[in-house]
Structure formats: C-alpha cells, structure tokens
Structure 1
Amino acid sequence: MRRVIRLGDPTTHGGHVVQATERYTMDGVPVARMGDHCTCPIPGHAGCVIVEGDPDWTIDGKPVALEGHLTSCGAALISTFGRLERSRESVGSMGMSQGSAVTLEREHPATHSEVASDPLEYDDHYILLCGESHKPLAHIEYAVQRADGTIEHGVTDESGRTHLLVTAAEQEHISIFVEG
C-alpha cells in the first residue's frame, strides 16, 4: 500500500510538489495527481511533472499520485501524510493508531467502481489500518462524525473496512475516530 501525495511533498531529488487539486484535500492540503507540477534542483530538470498515478483512483479524470510514483525527471515522490494509504480493495484506506482520528475532505464525485455510478452522489468507505504495522484494524469499533455533527458508529469488517458513507451532491468534511 502506498501513501497519498499532497502539495508540498518532497521528491528523491530534493524537489517538491508545487501543484495539486484544490478540489480534493486531506487535512486541508490539496492532493496531487498525474500531470501536476513539481520542482527539481538538479540542473536541466526544469518543468517537471508527475508522470505516474493510480488509474483506479482519479480526481477530475487524473490518477492520484502515490508514494513511489515517478516524476518526469526520474525522481520518486515521498509522502509526508502517513495516515491515508491507497488499497486496491477500496476507495481509500487509512493507516491509523487506535485512539486516533483523521479528517477527510472531498469536493467531487468518486470514480471508483465500488461506489455509486450517479455522478451527483458522494459514496465512500475506508479501510482502517494500524499506523505501525499497516495491517487492517479488523472488528474494531469506530465513529464517523459527519459535517452536520451527527455521529455514525460501526465496526470494521475482517478487512478493516468501514460501512459505506452516502451523502448527496455536496462537499462533506468527516472525521473518523477509532476505539482505543
């Protein structure tokens, strides 16, 4: 599993991601996608862009950049956001320690095949992972605080997956709290 790349994250050449979508943020920092720009201090490496992304997780039609993906100058991306990782089995997955919380923001319809095909709805579920071992937090109680303050409780399945969150056609900020 790979961690998400956001605006300002470094590269192995000493550069940084300088462009990302404002339409999808994690803890208030925009998420980077394939085609977004980055810097490189190595002479001759001007105008670098992210050339890889996860084809199964897109934002505005562009694949989301993940740790280890490459830039046009050959540098690998390094994530500074240790709490959300990409898993092929879900829309997104979170590496968390028990007793922790994370806030996620989304301003566009999801495009993954497991979520609703209606472009006016936002459907998400997450896989909760141990922040240290990166193993799924199976059968763990959690709470989701919705933007309107309501709280939904649940228990992750054997894969650490939460219940499906469904909202209607507008951005929603959520926080997930893990029992611990």
Structure 2
Amino acid sequence: MTSIACVGDATTHGGRIITGSDTMDIKGRGAARMGDLVTCPEHGTNPIIQCSDMLIDTNGNGVALDGHLTACGSRVLAVESHGSID
C-alpha cells in the first residue's frame, strides 16, 4: 500500500507540504495534488510534479503519494496513518 500525502507532511529535503485540496480531506488535512506547493530549505517553494493517475480529487486533480517528486528534486514523505491505496 502507498500512503496519501497531505498538507503538513515532510519532504526529503526537510521541507513541508503547504497547500492541498479543499475538497479532499483526510483526517482533517487536505490531500496534496499535482501542482500543490512544498517548502524546501535548499530551494525555496516548489510544486509537486508527480501524482497518481488512479486517485483524483473531486476537481479531477491527481493526488500525490509517498515518494512522489517535487520540482526541486525532493520527494514527499506521506504519513501512513492518513490513508493509503493499494
């Protein structure tokens, strides 16, 4: 199973996901999607550039999962307890 990334989850460069879906809420936190932003202490603010093609929010945006890439080369580190998909 792969965990769904949400606002507040970390990245491999020490940053955090700072934007997410207003329509897909997972345990009180918006799901991160393609184009949502992460902070990066090395490279500033960058978008998520990889998402699932099998999991989308109600607006048709692909949802980011654990390990997906950001524009600066970091990967999102989704917390397993949010939710996951097979």
Task: Tell me the TM-score normalised to structure 1 length.
Answer: 0.45
User: Which residue number corresponds to residue 114 of structure 1?
Assistant: none
Aligned length: 85
| Runs of 4+ residues over 4 Å off in structure 1 | none
Distance 2:81 2:38 in 1: 20
Q: Larger relative contact order (C-alpha < 8 A, sep ≥ 6)?
A: 2
Distance 1:28 1:57 in 2: 18
Q: Output the aligned Cα RMSD.
A: 1.1
Deviations 1:80-103 (A, max 9, x none): 24252112xxxxxxxxxxxxxxxx
> Which has the greater radius of gyration?
1
Distance 2:26 2:17 in 1: 15
In terms of fraction of residues, the more strand-rich structure is: 1
Distance 2:50 2:85 in 1: 14
Deviations 1:12-61 (A, max 9, x none): 0000000001211111111110110010000xx12301000001111112
2:56 to 55, 58, 80: 58
Identical columns (%): 34
User: Which residue number corresponds to residue 21 of structure 1?
Assistant: 21
Structure 1 pair 31–83 and aligned structure 2 pair: CA distance change class (3 A): closer
User: Which residue number corresponds to residue 82 of structure 1?
Assistant: 81
Deviation at residue 62 of structure 1 after TM alignment = 1.3
Distance 2:14 2:63 in 1: 21
Q: Give secondary structure in 2 for the equivalent of 1:47.
A: strand
The within-5 A match list for 1:28-177 is: 28-42=28-42, 45-59=43-57, 60-87=59-86
Distance 1:47 1:8 in 2: 14
Task: Tell me the TM-score normalised to structure 2 length.
Answer: 0.91
* One-letter amino acid of the structure 2 residue matched with residue 54 of structure 1: S
Structure 2 unaligned segments of length 5 or more: list them: none
Structure 1 unaligned segments of length 5 or more: list them: 88-180
